[in-house]
């Protein structure tokens, strides 16, 4: 059963790496507030890490509140990754 999705695009980052852009995250209303969006965001960071991407950015079309959430979760995920 699919309850949500996120869309990532890959961009070139000089000199020979990648940059990921998060375009959208959608979680169906009955499944919101259950940590699924955060899990999708973590999965995006894991994928970026496995692909040796330099970072994950947010599309300009995404709301500013989501950018705040991405920053907070991104810092937490980065901190947790550095602890291992």
- pLDDT bucket at 79, cuts 50 / 70 / 90: low
Domain spans of the chain?
A: 4-83
Please state, for a pLDDT cut of 70, what percent of the chain lies above it: 70
pTM of the model: 0.69
CA 75, CA 78: separation in Å to the nearest integer?
A: 5
Note the pLDDT tens digit of each residue in 43-64. 988 998 898 898 888 776 655 5
- The pLDDT assigned to 23 comes to 84
Residue closest to 52 by CA, chosen among 7, 19, 8, 15? 19
Q: CATH number of the domain at 4-83, out of 2.40.50.140, 3.65.10.10, 3.40.630.30, 3.40.30.20? A: 3.40.630.30
- The pLDDT assigned to 28 comes to 92
- The pLDDT assigned to 57 comes to 83
């Amino acid at each position: 059963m699919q309850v949500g999705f996120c869309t990532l695009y890959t961009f070139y980052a000089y000199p020979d790496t990648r940059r990921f852009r998060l375009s959208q995250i959608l979680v169906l209303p009955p499944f919101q507030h259950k940590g699924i969006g955060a899990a999708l965001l973590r999965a995006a960071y894991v994928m970026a890490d496995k692909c040796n991407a330099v970072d994950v950015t947010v599309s300009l079309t995404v709301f500013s509140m989501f950018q705040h959430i991405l920053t907070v979760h991104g810092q937490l995920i980065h901190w947790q990754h550095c602890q291992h």
